[in-house]
Structure 1
Amino acid sequence: MAIQSSIKANLYKDSVSLMRIAQVTVARSGVQRVTLLMGTRSNKEFLQQAGLMSPAFESAKPGDIMIVVADDSPDKLEAAEREIHSLIAGQDSKDGPTEAAAEAPPRSISGGVAVADHANLALISVPGPYAAAEALKALRQGLNVLLFSDNVPIEQERAIKRVAAHKGLLVMGPDCGTAIINGVPLGFANVVRPGVIGLVGASGTGLQEVMCQIHRHRQGISQAIGTGSHDVYSQVGGVTMLQGLELLAGDEATKVIAIVSKPPAPEVQKLVIERAGAIGKPVVICFLGGESATSIGNLHRASSLEETARRAVSLAGANEPGRDERIIGDLATRVCASLAPSQRYLRGLYSGGTFCLEAQTIWQAAGIRVRSNAPLDGADRLANGEDSHGHTAIDLGSDEFTVGRPHPMIDYGVRIERLLKEAEDPTVACIVLDVVLGYGSHLSPAEILAPAIRQARAAAKAKGRELPVICFVCGTDEDPQPFETQKAVLVDVGAELVSSSTDAALSAQAIATRMSAGEGAAVRRVMQGGERR
């Protein structure tokens, strides 16, 4: 595959804009890969690791855009280059000048405040080395901050959050991908009805899944406050999570609070639980991989994302949604009847780190050892994230897979490649995939994923195997993507569709457990009439 490199000098664009330009270019030109990064030292290191570094980039400055296009076709390379430069310049090659080009946006925090002096929040998405400085500028202007940027040193995160707390302001992030503040969705967020349940979490996709489940149970969200994944580390001390609890405690519209996070550092967990216990409102706490479900006073522990939503809905005054466990059992029975004895292992290919974490907690609780690039236990870390081993759960949104690429909720390329690779493995019993809808996500993810699912299942079939692909859609009927259409597309290519991330992990667990116990062959004999019970 040929790689073509170029530089657009002296023009800064944030990572979200660059991801969108890359996505549009791939869709329009058909080129295999587009990478757009600012010329920072860390981005050059990323390109080096990905095998995409060019000598031309050595002289690139942090204010320059490094452009990499890869394909086998010279014509596609040239078409992609033209598309990229046109989009960077603010010209849509199909529609002429864009509205954005006609009205130049502010180029600084102070410029933005001058245009919108009523604003009280700044969303910042710049390279990590510059993010803390921009956040401090916003705080000095009296603005709360959603810091979408990642790769911010943890000592800088601690410093800006201390400044914010002193000023009575909130910093969501760094690496905060999801929030809903006063009804306004920020980052990757879904369209949900307003209501009385307030969320605070160190998990973007976890917040999305919980809010979507709440919406489906006909309850709504008052606020959803993201903290960033490092907020619950001991070095930061849970500053934003504690502030978020305080804000929701004082919010008249919020009647029930839910917390979603991986287990915080012990001292942070103690602070969070103490503060939650002192709030005069019911609080659902989901520390994935932590304690199992219990209720003490106003605190209600949940062990999964779905259970978090169900408990919050019940505490909000609605009947707690029921669960029909037979659906999972019936799916596992039907699937196992079609599998060969060699098919024993699970493969979870997730765009959300929380989905990957939840699957690991469910599988390990059932005695299934899981390897991962983001493991619960360091001993289970994959030697190479590109290669699965045994039962495997992969976070495809981690840095090793997003170097020079858009997030997998936007660009499905990496996941499709991995899906097709896993389909060649005769030991794979099933593959689990999430499909995330909402603002910021791909405009029609199921239509992109469906041909790959069909191809993967056909490849396995050609070698005498069935390949179950379990999917769940994280979204609502109000999202920009047609929810029912997305589900129908997946069902049409033979995917096993379940209603939540929790059910997807439980269904896969049931399949692996039965195949490990040799039940697959027994089920086949019964269904084929060779044995009666």
Structure 2
Amino acid sequence: MSDHVELRSGVYVDSVGLMQVSRQVAATPGVRAAQVAMATDLNVEVLTGMGFAVPGHAAPNDLVVAVRADDEEHLRAGLAAVEAAFAALRPGGRGTGGAAEGATGQAVPPRTLGRAVAVAGADLALVSVPGRCAAVEAFDAVDRGVSVMVFSDNVPVEDEVRLKDAAAARDVLVMGPDCGTAVVAGVALGFANVVDRGPVGIVAASGTGAQQVMALLDAAGVGTSHCLGVGGRDLSAAVAGRSTRQALAALDADPATERILVVSKPPAPEVLADLEAYAAQLGTPVHWATLGPGSPDLTAAVEALLRATGHEVPAWPRWTPAAAVDATGEPGTGPGDRHLRGLFCGGTLADEAMLIASPALGGIRSNIPLSPQLALGTDLTAKDHVVVDFGDDALTRGRAHPMIDPTLRLERIATEATDPSCGVLLLDLVLGYGAHADPGPELASAVAGARATAAAAGRDLPVVVSLTGTRGDPQGLERTAEALAAAGAVVHLSNAAATRAAVDLLSPRPGRRPGSDEGQP
């Protein structure tokens, strides 16, 4: 076996491109493992766990290339595949449509976002660069009087506030930072599902939350006029709903929008109250799907909107294998304490799951905890109820979002299968544009493998999946759901229903009153 590890300084490639390089190299004959990534602490830890010797002076701004092959000949082939993959990512390998011509007559791409806006005559710009650079590019667009979607995460909150104040002064909209989902006049940006045009406009301080409500509306036969993402922090006390106000005003002025639905992770109470007062002055009725203790879950909020508009609330789709434990039947049995292990790609779906499950289970530890004392350590594990958001900013520095590259979560599923304290696995899977081209087979294989591992140890491991998607999504909603059900998972379109099913499958702990705080730090 031959290993090669090198650092390349002064090179940056976005995480999606690096994932493509890694997969292409890993498919080279004779290559046993390949990882090409920025040398963040997380990625170095992953590489070390794979057995690669990463130089101690590696820094987050370095690119690390790690390849393991059967022998030196295959290693050379793997390294050649690295260079070929990088060449395909360069502008010359992809074409440079829309650029001006240089002195040689060849197309020269614009070197600034402002210049690109001027050349294209655009009224909306999308920024997806490292977080430390995103604000500069976004300001360039706002200065040109153009609305901007900032896909980048890890942008300082101070920059977000200044950027949104500048946008308000120019009467344009900043979607983001960390805006993963938007649909503008039927055009999907970032992660988004295929939905019909319709009367409901969405303002979303949440990516997967927006996708969940769009998927539920689609299942009820109701379309979306626009979905304007505002970034997950917009309803925080620091940002104070700056973009939400702009988005509400824009949808109120849109003749195609008859109802507005605001979707958010748990907001700051004073910000929500201020926005509710503002919304009450608008001509378009505004509904609220803002998560929090005592507030309706996303499915309940959609159902309330449907009833208010005279639409029938459907039976939300659910897929079960013939041999599965029914979520309304007897819970599975097995030795030891049985705990919920929620492994999520969507932060809002993880938040919703914890809010629904906590009254029945007590404290749930997480890397995005509902209260600070329930925060997980850096290893993200605990012998208790656990929900992990693999899409959190801290886990996506220098690597693709788990909706694109599910490697870390797949590894964790296998680990949970060996843990006797894991009583049920609760997973999400989000389909649509921007996501993994066909995530169903990989997740189904992981589910089947986890259940088989548990069965070999004499345990039953129920698996419940929250599947967010629509009938038009390129991955195929029905096909994906059926593959997961065939692997032994119970699958729900509603994340709220999936969470309740998972909680119902847990045996109560002996001597512990459901909903008590026992086990909290």
TM-score higher than 0.5 here? yes
SS at match of 1:366: helix
Higher helix residue share:
1
Separation in structure 2 between the aligned mates of residue 507 and residue 516 of structure 1, nearest angstrom: 20
SS at match of 1:139: helix
CA contact (8 A) 1:207 1:224 kept: yes
Separation in structure 2 between the aligned mates of residue 72 and residue 429 of structure 1, nearest angstrom: 38
Aligned to 2:327: 332
CA contact (8 A) 1:401 1:414 kept: no
Q: Which of 65, 69, 72 is 1:68 aligned to?
A: 65
Separation in structure 2 between the aligned mates of residue 398 and residue 71 of structure 1, nearest angstrom: 29
Amino acid at match of 1:158: V
Q: Which of 62, 87, 112 is 2:116 aligned to?
A: 112
Aligned to 1:211: 214
CA contact (8 A) 2:367 2:380 kept: no
Amino acid at match of 1:110: G
Any residues of structure 2 matched to 1:76-95 within 5 Å, and which? 78-90=76-88
Separation in structure 1 between the aligned mates of residue 475 and residue 451 of structure 2, nearest angstrom: 25
What's the offset of the Cα at 1:264? 1.9
What's the offset of the Cα at 1:314? 2.8
CA contact (8 A) 1:256 1:315 kept: no
Aligned to 2:312: 319
Q: Which of 123, 126, 132 is 1:123 aligned to?
A: 126
Change in Cα spacing, 1:320 to 1:183, as seen in structure 2 (3 Å) is same
Aligned to 2:427: 433
Any residues of structure 2 matched to 1:161-240 within 5 Å, and which? 161-240=164-243
CA contact (8 A) 1:109 1:137 kept: yes
Identity of aligned residues (%): 37
Q: Root-mean-square deviation (CA), in Å?
A: 3.1
Amino acid at match of 1:171: V
Separation in structure 1 between the aligned mates of residue 232 and residue 71 of structure 2, nearest angstrom: 42
Separation in structure 1 between the aligned mates of residue 404 and residue 55 of structure 2, nearest angstrom: 26
Aligned residues: 492
Aligned to 1:7: 8
SS at match of 1:348: strand
SS at match of 2:466: strand
Amino acid at match of 2:83: H
What's the offset of the Cα at 1:14? 4.0
Separation in structure 2 between the aligned mates of residue 100 and residue 484 of structure 1, nearest angstrom: 37
Separation in structure 2 between the aligned mates of residue 169 and residue 415 of structure 1, nearest angstrom: 38
TM-score, normalised on structure 1?
0.84
What per-residue deviation string (whole Å, max 9, x for no partner) do you get for residues 399-445 of structure 1? 34334321111112111110010001112211011111111111110
Amino acid at match of 2:185: N
Separation in structure 2 between the aligned mates of residue 466 and residue 385 of structure 1, nearest angstrom: 25
Change in Cα spacing, 1:307 to 1:515, as seen in structure 2 (3 Å) is same
1:143 aligns with 2:146: yes
Change in Cα spacing, 1:399 to 1:83, as seen in structure 2 (3 Å) is farther
What's the offset of the Cα at 1:54? 3.4
Change in Cα spacing, 1:335 to 1:416, as seen in structure 2 (3 Å) is farther
SS at match of 2:211: helix
- More deviation in 139-148 or 45-54? 45-54
Q: Which of 493, 497, 503 is 2:497 aligned to?
A: 503
- More deviation in 212-221 or 105-114? 105-114
Aligned to 1:288: 291
Q: Which has the higher contact order (CA 8 A, sep 6+)?
A: 2
Change in Cα spacing, 1:25 to 1:502, as seen in structure 2 (3 Å) is farther
Change in Cα spacing, 1:266 to 1:423, as seen in structure 2 (3 Å) is same
Q: Which of 383, 394, 399 is 2:388 aligned to?
A: 394
Aligned to 1:464: 458
SS at match of 1:68: strand
Change in Cα spacing, 1:68 to 1:409, as seen in structure 2 (3 Å) is same
Amino acid at match of 1:219: V
Aligned to 1:274: 277
Separation in structure 1 between the aligned mates of residue 410 and residue 250 of structure 2, nearest angstrom: 41
Change in Cα spacing, 1:107 to 1:505, as seen in structure 2 (3 Å) is same
CA contact (8 A) 2:67 2:79 kept: no
SS at match of 1:123: strand
Change in Cα spacing, 1:13 to 1:421, as seen in structure 2 (3 Å) is closer
SS at match of 1:228: coil
Separation in structure 2 between the aligned mates of residue 324 and residue 176 of structure 1, nearest angstrom: 28
Change in Cα spacing, 1:111 to 1:31, as seen in structure 2 (3 Å) is farther
Q: Which runs of 5+ in 1 are unaligned?
A: 38-42, 293-302, 519-533
Amino acid at match of 2:438: S
Change in Cα spacing, 1:411 to 1:46, as seen in structure 2 (3 Å) is closer
SS at match of 2:222: coil
Separation in structure 2 between the aligned mates of residue 507 and residue 367 of structure 1, nearest angstrom: 13
- More deviation in 161-170 or 45-54? 45-54
Separation in structure 1 between the aligned mates of residue 368 and residue 136 of structure 2, nearest angstrom: 29
Change in Cα spacing, 1:77 to 1:196, as seen in structure 2 (3 Å) is farther
Q: Which of 153, 160, 163 is 2:163 aligned to?
A: 160
1:355 aligns with 2:368: no
SS at match of 2:198: strand
TM-score, normalised on structure 2?
0.86
SS at match of 2:481: helix
Separation in structure 1 between the aligned mates of residue 63 and residue 419 of structure 2, nearest angstrom: 37
Separation in structure 2 between the aligned mates of residue 417 and residue 153 of structure 1, nearest angstrom: 31
Q: Which of 296, 303, 311 is 1:310 aligned to?
A: 303
Change in Cα spacing, 1:324 to 1:229, as seen in structure 2 (3 Å) is closer
What's the offset of the Cα at 1:514? 5.0
SS at match of 1:369: coil
What's the offset of the Cα at 1:138? 0.9
1:486 aligns with 2:472: no
CA contact (8 A) 2:485 2:491 kept: yes
What's the offset of the Cα at 1:355? 1.2
Change in Cα spacing, 1:428 to 1:330, as seen in structure 2 (3 Å) is closer
Change in Cα spacing, 1:98 to 1:250, as seen in structure 2 (3 Å) is closer
SS at match of 2:327: helix
Separation in structure 2 between the aligned mates of residue 517 and residue 324 of structure 1, nearest angstrom: 36
Separation in structure 1 between the aligned mates of residue 460 and residue 390 of structure 2, nearest angstrom: 25
Q: Which runs of 5+ in 2 are unaligned?
A: 49-53, 98-105, 513-521
Separation in structure 1 between the aligned mates of residue 325 and residue 483 of structure 2, nearest angstrom: 22
SS at match of 1:180: strand
Separation in structure 1 between the aligned mates of residue 316 and residue 116 of structure 2, nearest angstrom: 48
CA contact (8 A) 1:373 1:382 kept: yes
Amino acid at match of 1:275: Y
